[in-house]
Amino acid sequence: MKPINEVRSVITPLNRKNVDTDQIISKEFLKRIERTGFGKYLFHHWRFQADGTENKEFVLNEDRFKESKILVAHDNFGCGSSREHAPWAILDYGFEVVIAPSFADIFHNNCFKNGILPIRLRIEEVEELLTKGETAPYTLEIDLEQQTVIGEDGKTYTFDIDPYYKQMLLNGWDEISLTFQYEEQIAAYEKQHA
């Protein structure tokens, strides 16, 4: 997986609570056996009308957000199904960072396995970002090493992240290779519980 540290981009404000993974990637796209190419299906039923034309009302379809790498959403982002196709679609579409006041556990975990940085900020901070981002294009600079989020107006936020997952993201490590270093402990556990 690709390492991630500094990301600078306009934010895409998705002002909704409880965005579930069924909305992020709908079930009709889960039949594919590949791991790539899900970006074009991201938020499909919100992005497109039934006749296949773009829904102009939906935030991702606004020109000013087309190059955005940072998605900002409300509480409990990624709830519901465990489908990893959701983070695959988010990453493939071009988002590298998701900011929200809270994330559902499985989705949060899945982000770390794919080089997406999920950032939890306080509710009032996220709401401030959503308002700024909706009013005019608003650029954030994210620094994972420093654990900071800095707005174009100089407003600075800090965030917490589990040190284990921070290292994984910074280095783009393959977790399975890391775990193989504990082969001895795994074998001992199996012997003891056989």
Partner 1 sequence: MPKTIIEKIWEQHIVYEEQGKPDLLYIDLHLLHEVTSPQAFEGLRLAGRKVRRPDLCFATMDHNVPTRNLPIINDPIAKKQITTLEKNCEEFGIELADMEHPDQGIVHIIGPELGLTQPGKTIVCGDSHTSTHGAFGAIAFGIGTSEVEHVLSTQTLWQSKPKTMEIRINGKLGFGVTAKDVILAIIAKFGIDVGTGHIAEYTGEAIRSMTMEERMTICNMSIEAGAKAGLISPDETTIEYLRGRRHVPEGEAFDEAAEEWLSLATDEGAAYDTVLEIDANEIEPFITWGTNPSMGSGISANVPSSEDFADESDKEALKKALAYMGLEEGTPLSSIEIQHVFIGSCTNARLSDLRAAAEVIAGQKVHPNVTAIVVPGSRKVKRQAEEEGLDKVFLEAGFEWRESGCSMCLAMNDDVVPAGERCASTSNRNFEGRQGAGSRTHLMSPAMAAAAAISGHFTDVRTMKLAHA
Q: Report the DSSP pairing between strands 139-143 and 6-14.
A: antiparallel
Quote the CA–CA distance of 63 and 133 in Å, as a whole number: 13
Distance from CA of residue 115 to its chain's centroid? 9
185 binds partner 1 (CB under 8 A): yes
Residue 141 near residue 8 (C-beta atoms within 8 A):
yes
Longest alpha-carbon distance in the chain? 62
Of 70 and 130, CB closest to partner 1: 130
Would you give the binding string for partner 1 spanning residues 59-98, x where CB under 8 A is met? ---------------xxx--xxxxxx--x-----------
| Of the residues 4, 110, 118, 119, which one makes contact with partner 1 according to CB under 8 A | 110
Paired tokens of 113: 């396995």
Query: To which residue do tokens 């190419």 refer?
Result: 37
Q: Report the DSSP pairing between strands 70-73 and 97-100.
A: parallel
20 binds partner 1 (CB under 8 A): yes
Give the range of 18-26, 55-63, 90-98, 146-154 binding partner 1 by CB under 8 A: 18-26
Catalog residues that contact partner 1 under the rule CB under 8 A.
16-18, 20, 22-23, 26-28, 30-35, 45, 50, 74-76, 79-84, 87, 102, 104-106, 109-110, 113-114, 162-164, 175-176, 179-180, 182, 185-186, 189-190, 193
